[in-house]
């Protein structure tokens, strides 16, 4: 029987960062002679929590204070009113959160989790760690000092001296890889060659698979060609599939990587693209099913993000062990230390270097395939607000998508993987793997007035809302809608101009005759910049009337200053009208103020 002190590490991750932190905690625990178990919250039975001695929680916050999908079941259990205030009195715990201070509800999930654990009697052993993407070193700027405090606290819990350790992580012996690669003979017939057949990788979290693939039937640029931002209107044919969606739902898209990028990676790593392999856990995993052999090229294309994601810190630590050139080993060794953390962040994350680019910068490194499978970030789906109503467009799904492009601090041009791929697809032959998920924006019943704030591509879900209400209005009365839209120029990026104007005329759902209205803020057409919050203040009486009538307010768009500025505008209206019940925080508690933003 293993007599090492057990430490449970539970994580909830949406993009993989929290999982990466949890894995790091597990490695450091093992190096200190503890017995760690690292698990996603959705795989852990929360009923067993009271029997644990030490639990470390790592949780990310998504959007406006949202929990990762993998945490929802666990959190629902913790909120059970039948749990006593002493239920976790024998549990020692620590919480590290990952968030972005650019959002209003920075690290909201970690804050709520910490508070609830304390309410149930658990004992916090270290201060709550709050990682911030805005820090010059990213979330690791808070993680490194927090870990130092954590291990001191854990040592006190178990009442023993900690094992001696080197001054930095670079002197540790490399842990064995988590996966093993099995090579197969080419005569095997059950070779999986597409997204839909690589399903069993999901048990190892190597691939999220789509429900269906649909033909893209329209790809139209909405912005003027002279405008710096390329925004597309995309349409997909559901082809009688029976797939249904509601306004506010989100379309998940699994992107494809370019053939050139895949070939470049495989050439750098010396991989035989035709080799047939299967991936298996190095140690037995309960419930794991063997994977049908696939070619190495398919594995890279469908599973490993070699085109857009930057490798994580552990990637550089492992690379150090496989570097033949001394100067490369020294640089990698420096990157793996706390002193090199900021330089690594500037080199890697801020420049958004891909795995291939990093490997090309260290040509003497030859990583075995087992390590590549473990360390290369997973190719993850992208999510877009559906911008159409099924009532208005039977058998179709529409998206409103900005083609992502930016310049790094060192003036390197970068492109978004998924948006660039979708924009370049042939509208006659392009097939896209997609699935529908529920979004946080839910259209209320037709009798509820709406106040919609959606500048730029934030208008996407509200196009669905407005089209749905217009379709319903053909057979029954609907409540008024106020829609505040914003863009830079009236002649360049006024998305869906004709459609909005049509809805605002002839007693349409946005018309003033029906108690609604459509208001546009052009920020660059005049010397003074005008934004949606200015238009909201201008219409304060109309806005307040709809709030008095029970309106629901929805805000969608970029997570820069806009959400806070819009909330302030509504706050000022509540003060002006002398009604604190109309303030966003009060309305939010009633489910009448909902924000969906993205970075």
Which three-class secondary structure string do you get for 81-145? CCCCCCCCCCCEEEEEEEECCCCCCCCHHHHHHHHHHHHCCCEECCCCEEEECCCCCCCHHHHHH
Say how far apart CA 295 and CA 276 lie, in whole Å.
Answer: 4
- Write down the pLDDT at residue 490: 95
Residue ranges of the annotated binding site for NADP(+) are 457, 523-524, 529-533, 565
* Cα separation values, 457 from 1, 92, 401, 556, 557, Å: 58, 45, 7, 8, 7
pTM of the shown model: 0.88
Give the per-residue pLDDT at 288: 52
User: How far does CA 309 lie from the centroid of its chain?
Assistant: 13
- Give the neighbor-by-neighbor strand order of the sheet with 294-295: 179-184, 276-281, 294-295
Query: Would you list which residues are annotated within the binding site for FAD?
Result: 352, 382-385, 416-419, 598
Binding annotation for FMN: 13-18, 60-63, 133
Confidence at residue 160, expressed as pLDDT on a 0 to 100 scale: 61
**523 with 487: CB under 8 angstroms?**
yes
Q: Residue 521 class from Cβ within 10 Å (0-12 exposed, 13-18 middle, 19+ buried)?
A: buried
CA–CA separation, 389 and 7 (whole Å):
49
Angle at 237 between CA 231 and CA 243, to 5 degrees: 110
Per-residue model confidence (pLDDT) at position 118: 97
Alpha carbons 60 and 346: distance in angstroms, whole number:
22
- What is the set of domains in the chain, with CATH numbers? 6-165 (3.40.50.360), 179-201+257-375 (1.20.990.10), 212-254+381-437 (2.40.30.10), 450-598 (3.40.50.80)
Per-block mean pLDDT, blocks of 10 residues, the chain (599 long): 81 92 95 93 96 97 86 96 96 96 87 97 97 88 95 88 51 81 70 40 42 82 96 92 92 94 97 93 62 88 94 95 97 92 93 97 97 94 96 96 94 94 86 90 98 98 98 97 97 98 96 96 93 98 97 92 94 96 95 90
d(CA 19, CA 59): 9
* pLDDT, position 197: 36
Annotated binding-site members: 13-18, 60-63, 133, 352, 382-385, 416-419, 457, 523-524, 529-533, 565, 598
């Amino acid at each position: 029987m293993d007599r090492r002190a057990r430490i449970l590490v539970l994580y909830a991750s949406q993009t993989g960062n929290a999982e990466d932190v949890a894995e790091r905690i597990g490695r450091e625990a093992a190096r200190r002679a503890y017995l760690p178990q690292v698990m996603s919250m959705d795989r852990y039975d929360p009923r067993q929590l009271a029997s644990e001695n030490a639990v470390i929680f790592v949780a990310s916050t998504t959007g406006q204070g949202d929990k990762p999908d993998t945490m929802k079941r666990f959190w629902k259990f913790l909120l059970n009113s039948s749990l006593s205030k002493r239920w976790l009195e024998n549990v020692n715990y620590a919480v590290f959160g990952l968030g972005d201070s650019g959002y209003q509800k920075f690290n909201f999930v970690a804050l709520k989790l910490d508070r609830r654990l304390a309410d149930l009697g658990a004992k916090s052993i270290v201060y709550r760690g709050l990682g911030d993407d805005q820090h010059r070193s990213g979330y690791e700027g808070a993680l490194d000092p927090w870990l130092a405090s954590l291990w001191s606290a854990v040592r006190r819990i178990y009442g023993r001296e900690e094992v001696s350790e080197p001054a930095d992580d670079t002197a540790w012996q490399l842990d064995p890889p988590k996966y093993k690669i099995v090579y197969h003979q080419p005569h095997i017939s059950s070779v999986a060659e597409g997204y839909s057949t690589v399903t069993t990788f999901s048990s190892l979290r190597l691939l999220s698979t789509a429900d269906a693939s649909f033909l893209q039937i329209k790809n139209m640029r909405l912005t003027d060609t002279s405008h710096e931002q390329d925004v597309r209107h995309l349409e997909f044919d559901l082809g009688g599939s029976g797939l249904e969606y509601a306004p506010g739902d989100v379309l998940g898209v699994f992107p494809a990587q370019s053939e050139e990028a895949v070939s470049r990676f495989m050439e750098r790593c010396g991989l035989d693209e035709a080799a047939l392999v299967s991936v298996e856990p190095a140690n037995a995993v309960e419930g794991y099913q063997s994977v049908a052999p696939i070619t190495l090229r398919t594995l890279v294309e469908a599973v490993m993000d070699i085109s857009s994601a930057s490798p994580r810190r552990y990637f550089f630590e492992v690379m150090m062990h496989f570097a033949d050139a001394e100067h490369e080993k020294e640089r990698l060794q420096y990157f793996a230390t706390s002193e090199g953390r900021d330089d690594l962040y500037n080199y890697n994350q801020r420049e958004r270097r891909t795995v291939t680019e990093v490997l090309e910068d260290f040509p003497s490194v030859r990583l075995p395939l087992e390590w590549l499978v473990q360390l290369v970030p997973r190719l993850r789906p992208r999510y877009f607000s559906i911008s159409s109503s099924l009532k208005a467009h039977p058998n179709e799904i529409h998206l409103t998508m900005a083609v992502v492009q930016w310049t790094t601090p060192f003036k390197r041009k970068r492109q978004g993987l998924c948006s660039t791929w979708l924009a370049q697809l042939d509208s006659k032959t392009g097939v896209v793997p997609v699935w529908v998920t529920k979004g946080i924006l839910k259209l209320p019943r037709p009798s509820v007035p709406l106040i919609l704030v959606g500048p730029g591509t934030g208008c996407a879900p509200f196009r669905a809302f407005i089209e749905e209400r217009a379709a319903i209005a053909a057979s029954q009365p609907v409540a008024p809608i106020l829609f505040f839209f914003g863009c830079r120029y009236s002649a360049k990026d006024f998305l869906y101009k004709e459609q909005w104007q049509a809805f605002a005329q002839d007693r349409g759902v946005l018309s003033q005759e029906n108690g609604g209205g459509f208001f546009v803020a052009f920020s660059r057409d005049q010397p003074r910049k005008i934004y949606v919050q200015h238009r909201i203040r201008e219409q304060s009486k109309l806005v307040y009337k709809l709030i008095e009538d029970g309106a629901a307010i929805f805000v969608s768009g970029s997570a820069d200053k806009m959400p806070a500025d819009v909330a302030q505008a509504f706050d000022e209206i509540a003060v002006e009208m002398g009604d604190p019940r109309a303030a966003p925080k009060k309305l939010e508690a009633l489910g009448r103020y909902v924000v969906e933003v993205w970075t």
